[in-house]
Structure 1
């Protein structure tokens, strides 16, 4: 059985939804950019050899519909013989694609795979454009709560005793770490995107095209303080503790990774960045969906024989400060190893793209710091958790 080697891992910057640099940029175009950038990292590889492109998307409808994977790869100029499939496990979709691509290689069914994720919350917001939930499911209060993500965070904060002050401090540190990482040039996995916008002249009405380059994550707020965060009103429960400042940002972005078998690695004399060691998912009570990693992390550690103490870097998606802190405390994760460059509270969470984005961020970070093991983990809407382990080579 061949290992699945990652030879390319890139992402776009993450832009703020609705008012950021990608507000007029389609998700299939974002995906195409990520795919082209990933392939450009491996010029020795003929794109026609890619046996499938698996793309994660949490809301695959409208601009993200019609099998966005296939549309995106064609927009990227990939050959017609390359197929594509879109998968959805909500917030872990981009990590799920890596696991699925790796499994194809490890089983000997494929030699070259692309795993990716794309999401533009500007164009397709949370829950999509037409919400049509099954009323029988909503007759269970705990299942219904799962669709109000903020309420699940309030329940986690209450059950796991995560204080408002701790949440505010966590959010503050996320912004500080992200800003410092940008200043230090840490995000080497980012590939800039040129956006062309049509802008009317307010006096003449004449429309002209304006090009801008988006090359930096837009979310971090350098001037935020614990005091400012502490003054924000709670948004999900008047008597609760969760605020907009301690919640992940709505965002637009994409990421892509290329995985190959050992045979292709040797044939093309490619330099691997990492190998994918294992992946696990787990279900939890829907009303406390944020604790999903508490169940998924031990499963993947047992599967791989790599314990949490062995991990050098952990990318824990910060859906909410409350759930991130609950996970860290319960699984006893070293805070110094968790999100050293900031997390989703500062950098954003483009849903189905997040897994691929965090994997690219992690892999490049392990390379820069010459560290060995890293994990990407996140909670998942409706009550699940996912975790994947990578080893730098």
Structure 2
């Protein structure tokens, strides 16, 4: 017998600061530890909620291996101090993993199979690199030309989008500069305060003379990526890193346009949300941040994966019965400036409502965590600025797009 459809509400949303991978604040911090911090922060936002009422935790991760393997979701739930009765499952839709986790948690509530769920995402690109530690494509990927795009590096797909959608280097760099400028302004104005949970990191420094190890601690409260010294001149000096064809003498022609400066930053971070049914909202006296409205995912050719939102956004709007003009806040994940501009121009999106606080080019993109992180930004931002509908959308490696829509309450 089918269950009665009910609404799913987000009652808490928190995220860690985002650190630069490899050399940043969280280079030695496990992703499950970042997730624990986000979970505990989200739970602190709903002190009247009985943790025993939580049914399950669905956590996104793009490369669930190594330090973020072994079903990180369940381990983090247990280590965060939640009751043993709370389950956990780790899911993967690459860059849309965190957003898909929210959708799956909301759907469990909407079909009446749960009243309280956790959703989120976590990724350490410092500890588990892009592609994982042992990437191995199915040989069939290389057997037919139409499948080879699955194996393309993300930067190469961005170059192909830039070429097909005629996105110039100058426009990409200007978009990147705006991302940094908006992010710096948002940090100075304290716009991320409501969503970010401070994370304490411990550093160990050996003393070779004494043989002792000294410990020091720092509290991280801000995203590490935004750079106030970013300029068009500086961005313009960066060389293309993914496509720079050579002439017959072997000299690079500089024909590529995608650079480290107009691409997202590889990063470390985590985000967590708590979702509840109307019954649970009333039972525990919760105050919803927003209602989960709709979600859509669609596939596109892998070699131009960056255009995924072009297919997913109209579908999500259709499910919601909304139009683009109804959206007051759009978090369009800036995997690359090239694909972001292609999506904006192709769909005719309003640039004024896109990434009001900056995007992944400045703030960072911890892959499977990004959907949850950007959802937290959207939910708190909508309430702070009095907007009604917001959307989180992104392209996805191997050729997908995803979009989720929320209504602020």
Same fold at TM > 0.5? yes
Mapped pair 1:140 → 2:162: no
Q: Where do 1:13-52 residues align within 5 Å?
A: 13-52=17-56
Superimposed CA distance per residue, residues 278-333 of structure 1 (whole angstroms, 9 cap, x where no aligned partner)? 00000000000000000000001111111111000000000000000000001111
Shift of 1:2: 1.5
Separation (CA, whole Å) in 1 of partners of 2:22 and 2:81: 28
Shift of 1:197: 2.0
Separation (CA, whole Å) in 1 of partners of 2:146 and 2:364: 27
Aligned with residue 233 of structure 1, among 231, 239, 247: 239
Contact 1:274 1:363 in 2 (8 A): yes
Secondary structure in 2 matching 1:179: helix
Shift of 1:140: 3.4
Check 1:357–1:217 CA distance in 2 against 1; reply closer, same or farther (3 A cut): same
Contact 1:12 1:192 in 2 (8 A): yes
Contact 2:49 2:286 in 1 (8 A): no
Aligned with residue 226 of structure 2, among 198, 220, 226: 220
Secondary structure in 1 matching 2:96: helix
Aligned with residue 378 of structure 2, among 346, 351, 362: 362
Give the TM-score of the pair, scaled to structure 2.
0.95
- Listed as ranges, the gaps of 5+ residues in structure 1 are none
Superimposed CA distance per residue, residues 326-364 of structure 1 (whole angstroms, 9 cap, x where no aligned partner)? 000011110010001000000000000000000000000
Shift of 1:201: 2.5
What residue in structure 2 maps to residue 262 of structure 1? 278
Aligned with residue 169 of structure 2, among 151, 164, 168: 164
Separation (CA, whole Å) in 1 of partners of 2:150 and 2:349: 25
Secondary structure in 2 matching 1:212: strand
Mapped pair 1:391 → 2:383: no
Contact 1:143 1:382 in 2 (8 A): no
Separation (CA, whole Å) in 1 of partners of 2:149 and 2:50: 48
What residue in structure 2 maps to residue 109 of structure 1? 113
Shift of 1:379: 0.1
Mapped pair 1:125 → 2:141: no
Shift of 1:145: 3.4
Secondary structure in 1 matching 2:330: strand
Aligned with residue 206 of structure 1, among 196, 208, 212: 212
Superimposed CA distance per residue, residues 221-244 of structure 1 (whole angstroms, 9 cap, x where no aligned partner)? 110101110111000111211101
Aligned with residue 286 of structure 1, among 302, 312, 315: 302
Separation (CA, whole Å) in 2 of partners of 1:386 and 1:196: 36
Mapped pair 1:277 → 2:283: no
Superimposed CA distance per residue, residues 228-272 of structure 1 (whole angstroms, 9 cap, x where no aligned partner)? 101110001112111010110000000000000000111122111
Shift of 1:205: 3.7
Could you list the structure 1 runs, at least 4 aligned residues long, displaced by more than 2 angstroms after superposition: 138-147, 201-205
Contact 2:14 2:272 in 1 (8 A): yes
Q: Where do 1:291-370 residues align within 5 Å?
A: 291-370=307-386
Contact 2:50 2:284 in 1 (8 A): no
Separation (CA, whole Å) in 1 of partners of 2:137 and 2:277: 41
Separation (CA, whole Å) in 2 of partners of 1:126 and 1:68: 18
Separation (CA, whole Å) in 2 of partners of 1:282 and 1:129: 28
Separation (CA, whole Å) in 2 of partners of 1:60 and 1:144: 24
Shift of 1:208: 1.4
Check 1:341–1:142 CA distance in 2 against 1; reply closer, same or farther (3 A cut): farther
Contact 1:14 1:216 in 2 (8 A): yes
Separation (CA, whole Å) in 1 of partners of 2:176 and 2:53: 43
Shift of 1:142: 4.8
Separation (CA, whole Å) in 2 of partners of 1:185 and 1:69: 30
What residue in structure 1 maps to residue 99 of structure 2? 95
Contact 2:141 2:150 in 1 (8 A): no
Contact 1:142 1:286 in 2 (8 A): no
